[in-house]
Structure 1
Amino acid sequence: MIGGPAGSTVASQLANSPKHPKVLLLEAGGLNSDHDLRVDGQRWLTFQNKNMNWGYKTAPQEHCNNREIDYSRGLGMGGSSAINFGVYSVGAQDDYEEWARVVGDDAYRWKNIQSRYKALETFHGDLPAGIDSKYASPRPENHGSSGPLHVGFASEWEQDLPPLLDVFEQAGFPLNPDHNSGNPLGMSVLINSSYKGVRSTAADFLKPQPENLKIITNAPVQRLVLDGKKAVGVESNGQKYYASKEIVMCAGSLEGPRILMHSGIGPAKQLEQFNIPVTLDVPAIGQGLRDHTFVPLVNTRVENSTYRRNFYGDEKAMATALDQWRKDGSGPWSKFACELGIGWFKLQNLTASDEFKALPEDEQRYLMQETVPHYEILTHFPIHWFIPGFAQEALNYSCLLVFLFNAQTRGEVILQSSDPSVPLKFDPKFLAHPFDRRAAIESLRDAFRIAKYDAYTKDNVLELAGPKSDSDEDLLEYWRQNISSSWHMTGTIKMGKKGDTDAAVDSDFRFIGIEGLRVADMSVVPVLANCHVQAVAYVTGATCAEKLIKEYSLDHLSAMI
């Protein structure tokens, strides 16, 4: 296992099941135990900590001006939940209906997935004083109240957030009172993986640590230990750890294929190229890589429209705020960039396009489902931390991020060394598919309905980032030059039905062809859900744990994992 959202959930739920089996969790990185790493308003900076990030880049992207793009992955307890941006969104109920259809298992239908989401979370739905409930009014039946993951709304919002949501509504983007109801369509207030100024991570699932759960950190797994075609253990730092029942690998879409390939499991041609003995030829390993991407629209704003420059432009103010946060989790570090606007929308121009009509019928049908969006807009992103040399006088700004969803490109991760410490080559092939290019153009063009709306532009002073025009050519070139990964890597050890040529695991997470091995993380998820996928990773782990607990009768019979 790895101590990210999926792995921590599997480990916690197995260890805390009624029969308390022995569970070993191996984590490649450290404990990430410094409380200062949990500052809510600094969630945007944690990924820059080299001790908490694998530090990956993509291969040069042919359709993005040959740029190498940041491909950050979390390292240490909490995994990527320790370095992500705290967006807690579950996607569309039709995402899960499609997952269930693809793998032929009702365990993935929305009603079953939602029950697991509710068990995972403790939802805090209180709004700041004076905030109208039209911006957020979640229904209790859609949320949990006793789970280990604390999620909800920031206790204080920046002054320009409610007025901006009003402008969205005026521009024809309807408000959605709860983006985690199963229908994300509309403009919402972000549900965060944080509470009272403190961000939540997957490490919270392991506190208090059960006596029957052993955690070993700084233990990267190099390969599986195999007895024929049975996985009996794992090798880390020259030491072997053996399992009495099963191994559950939760290493993610980039690391999981590496471990398998160096164990002789994967595309035979790649393994033979680096003289790795082939135990099982599985061409699907490393294929099917999917991701979400985004570009920013940034404008400086008139004086007093925001107070960001007063805070971000004053080192003393930020230091004082950190002292306040350390006392009780309050203050500016629990306000600035802690509550965002977020919305998901459909694109009629996209579904009317030739590129859409050229898609397979199943994909067209899925994209036309009632709750499936075609793109996302996010507001109040602190872009100044991501642009080198951002001028202090420009800190009063507005940033909108436009996200590309449902990309049809399937990238790959490829073996490039016989040394298991060498990362694979990561090639997501952004914008390689004609539909993706059309979706990028139409999403950015639709976002202009707000970005060029009079009630929004009246407060603009200077455009810092945006396309030259709304022509197809200029919109696409803006994507090519400014595209970033959302770090939602999915699908490289894909789940499917037995007999599916692109499937490597079955719907019970069993690796097909290797006994004693399951894979439970975003690498197996066959549908890239329309959300920021940390929540999907959690529920994937919970689903695997549920199946293991039932299979081994851990809820009522003695068993050991």
Structure 2
Amino acid sequence: MASNTFDFVVVGGGPAGCTLATTLAKSAKKPSVLLIEAGGDNTDRNLRVSGQRFTAFMKPELNWGYKTTPQVDCAGRELDYSRGRGLGGSSAINFGVWSVGARDDYAEWARIVGDKAFDWENMQRRFKEVESFDPSLPEGVSTKYAAPKASDHGFSGPLKVGYAREFEDDFTEMIDIFEKGGWPLNPDHNSGNPIGMATVINSAQAGYHSTANDLLASKPENLTVVTNAPVQRLILEGTKVLGVEAKGTRYFASKEVVLSAGSLNSPSIMMHSGIGPVKQLEKFNIPVVRDIPAVGQNLRDHMFVPIVYQRKETSTSRPSFYGDAKAMEEALEQWKKDGSGNWSKYSSELGIGWKKLDGLESSPEFQSLPQDEQNLLRKETVPHYEVITHFPVHYFIPDITSSTHYSCFLVFYYNADSRGEVTLQSSDPNVPLLFNPRFLGSAFDRHVAVRALREVMELLKNEPYAKDTVASLAVPKSESDEDLLAYWQQYVGSSWHMTGTLKMGKRGDADAVVDNDFRFIGFDGLRVADMSVVPILGSCHVQAIAYITGATCAEKLIREYQLS
């Protein structure tokens, strides 16, 4: 066998790719597997400080640095569209929320593709297999704030997840404020029902941020990892995929090539291989192998806005840490010793909650949705919006300094109706696609965004919170529909949960390019296993879905090739 030929070639070292490659390689028949990654090895332990996970994306060597196109419904703004580069992929730069979403999401996935492999029972099993969950809570924090059932979690997987070693001083008080404001407390947002206010489970443990790179820690000999090798295109013989080309080097697969480069980069590889919308290919003189209009369509994402209030000096201890360079330096030295200290406390714990909007179903905006979307939004476990507490917004809004006594909430709206697209802008495969998520692009999206923001602001007027509020630092001018929408348009940000650009579905579905076995329809030897294939926008922070997308594809390949 040639040195550049493997049984399987997996493109992309993020959560899906690392899970897929390691699972295949560890199967009983031990096939040869190549995992090929565009970026570096990301082995520096100092990149894993739990409390610094909100700034990792600012390191250019870890981030593709993408931006959206100017958003028509967001004041013409180009929004940050960060994607992780290097082993670990976007798990190396994300904000560390480990959430699995709603069990009804997975029932919908199974329905769309006609395959129970994607239902909640099977997906939860895979979540449990990938995680090693530590349910420990800091001393003095009761089970009122977190009480997960062991039956909903895994304890021996390769990815370490759990709660922070310490909680910020006002954390439990903030959860109580939401409870008094009418939110039910959720003892475990990863039970399959995220509705209610909860203590976030982090993709971190003992102060150390976990990434997909951790799955490679016990890499078997039959798994080869090549870094700094961005794949530009597929090697084709008619409609048979033989391998991939990266920076002039060719790598071949005797069984399958699997793209796991993500919702923004996997479609790029397809288009630069001549597979995609014919008008785009012809515009940039890319020889057309097959006209597939759905390639690059159906882009979906979650989005959010921050709201920020100045607080009495006694209400938060953050400035004593973030406002003191010496304190941060000393804390970093402590973290390097044993993962403890203030860098495993501040920005290491979040309150997180999901909620339904009362009466949404009777609105004309809801009634205008396709029936399948209406049906999903009516399901018990599917939320309409999300709130996060304790976000370190001073990293993102220059006028709010590290010495400011503030509290920040992120308000997300879920299950957006808008669909965006990714499209070619060059014949050069090293030039990224154009990314247009079309945020706030429908009446339903604008309706939910306005109502969710108003609902959270109303809660924060209640005495338990308002008694310590000194001033508004970043809020809408008023609570009129017009001012709330204008605030979204001016301050909306992507959650980096890009999904759906090579959508999975049943063969014959007009918008499906991948079947339920992850095969790219119409080609032999090619599968896609990353967030680009996922046909739902999960009610969660989607890194967890990326891991089990890779795991599900691996299971199907192992069964098909009798590798177990």
Distance in 2 (alpha carbons) for counterparts of 1:98 and 1:446: 28
Among residues 515, 540, 546, which one is paired with 2:555 in the alignment? 546
Distance in 1 (alpha carbons) for counterparts of 2:329 and 2:69: 38
Distance in 1 (alpha carbons) for counterparts of 2:459 and 2:229: 48
Distance in 1 (alpha carbons) for counterparts of 2:509 and 2:169: 52
Distance in 2 (alpha carbons) for counterparts of 1:349 and 1:440: 15
The answer to whether structure 1 residue 250 and structure 2 residue 228 are counterparts is no
Residue of structure 2 in register with 1:425 after alignment: 434
Residue of structure 1 in register with 2:368 after alignment: 358
Residue of structure 1 in register with 2:25 after alignment: 15
The answer to whether structure 1 residue 521 and structure 2 residue 541 are counterparts is no
Among residues 261, 266, 284, which one is paired with 1:274 in the alignment? 284
Q: Deviations over 1:153-209 (max 9, x none)?
A: 011100100011111111101100000000000000000000000010000011122
Shift of 1:526: 0.2
Letter in 1 for 2:545: V
Shift of 1:392: 4.2
What SS does structure 2 have at the residue aligned with 1:244?
A: strand
What pairs up with 1:206-355 in 2 under 5 angstroms?
Answer: 206-355=216-365
Distance in 2 (alpha carbons) for counterparts of 1:392 and 1:157: 19
What SS does structure 1 have at the residue aligned with 2:250?
A: strand
Root-mean-square deviation (CA, aligned residues, Å) is 0.7
What SS does structure 1 have at the residue aligned with 2:456?
A: helix
Q: Is the 8 A contact 2:520 2:526 kept in 1?
A: yes
What SS does structure 2 have at the residue aligned with 1:188?
A: strand
What pairs up with 1:89-128 in 2 under 5 angstroms?
Answer: 89-128=99-138
Distance in 2 (alpha carbons) for counterparts of 1:164 and 1:547: 44
Among residues 6, 25, 43, which one is paired with 1:33 in the alignment? 43
Uncovered stretches (5+) of structure 1, i.e. residues with no partner = 556-561
Letter in 2 for 1:446: E
Shift of 1:350: 2.3
Residue of structure 1 in register with 2:170 after alignment: 160
Letter in 1 for 2:22: S
Distance in 2 (alpha carbons) for counterparts of 1:279 and 1:194: 44
Shift of 1:494: 0.2
The answer to whether structure 1 residue 385 and structure 2 residue 395 are counterparts is yes
Paired residue total: 554
Among residues 167, 174, 187, which one is paired with 2:184 in the alignment? 174
Q: Deviations over 1:334-385 (max 9, x none)?
A: 0001111000000024222110011111111110001000000000000001
Letter in 2 for 1:417: S
Among residues 446, 454, 466, which one is paired with 2:463 in the alignment? 454
Letter in 2 for 1:132: S
Distance in 2 (alpha carbons) for counterparts of 1:7 and 1:297: 36
Distance in 2 (alpha carbons) for counterparts of 1:211 and 1:388: 48
Letter in 2 for 1:63: D
Residue of structure 2 in register with 1:464 after alignment: 473
Distance in 2 (alpha carbons) for counterparts of 1:298 and 1:241: 50
Residue of structure 2 in register with 1:558 after alignment: none
What SS does structure 2 have at the residue aligned with 1:224?
A: strand
Distance in 1 (alpha carbons) for counterparts of 2:182 and 2:371: 30
Alpha-carbon spacing, 1:226–1:411, altered in 2? closer, same or farther (3 Å)? same
Letter in 2 for 1:268: V
Among residues 131, 134, 140, which one is paired with 1:130 in the alignment? 140
Q: Is the 8 A contact 1:350 1:442 kept in 2?
A: no
Q: Is the 8 A contact 2:12 2:259 kept in 1?
A: yes
Shift of 1:135: 0.5
Residue of structure 1 in register with 2:411 after alignment: 402
> More displaced, 454-463 or 69-78?
454-463
What SS does structure 2 have at the residue aligned with 1:61?
A: coil
Q: Deviations over 1:296-318 (max 9, x none)?
A: 11011111211110100011110
Letter in 1 for 2:546: A
Letter in 2 for 1:199: H
Letter in 1 for 2:506: K
Distance in 2 (alpha carbons) for counterparts of 1:61 and 1:200: 33
Q: Deviations over 1:490-512 (max 9, x none)?
A: 00000000000000000000000
What SS does structure 1 have at the residue aligned with 2:265?
A: helix
Residue of structure 1 in register with 2:493 after alignment: 484
Q: Is the 8 A contact 2:519 2:527 kept in 1?
A: yes
Shift of 1:389: 4.5
Shift of 1:67: 0.3
Shift of 1:229: 0.4
The answer to whether structure 1 residue 501 and structure 2 residue 510 are counterparts is yes
Letter in 2 for 1:149: L
Q: Is the 8 A contact 1:223 1:236 kept in 2?
A: yes
Letter in 1 for 2:124: Q
Q: Deviations over 1:460-487 (max 9, x none)?
A: 1111111111111111111000000000
Q: Is the 8 A contact 2:320 2:403 kept in 1?
A: no
TM-score (norm 1): 0.98
What SS does structure 2 have at the residue aligned with 1:539?
A: helix
Distance in 1 (alpha carbons) for counterparts of 2:17 and 2:309: 40
Runs ≥4 residues deviating over 3 A? none
> More displaced, 503-512 or 346-355?
346-355
Letter in 1 for 2:314: N
Distance in 2 (alpha carbons) for counterparts of 1:339 and 1:545: 33
Q: Is the 8 A contact 2:83 2:496 kept in 1?
A: yes
Among residues 60, 68, 74, which one is paired with 2:70 in the alignment? 60
Q: Is the 8 A contact 2:394 2:402 kept in 1?
A: no
Q: Is the 8 A contact 1:171 1:449 kept in 2?
A: no
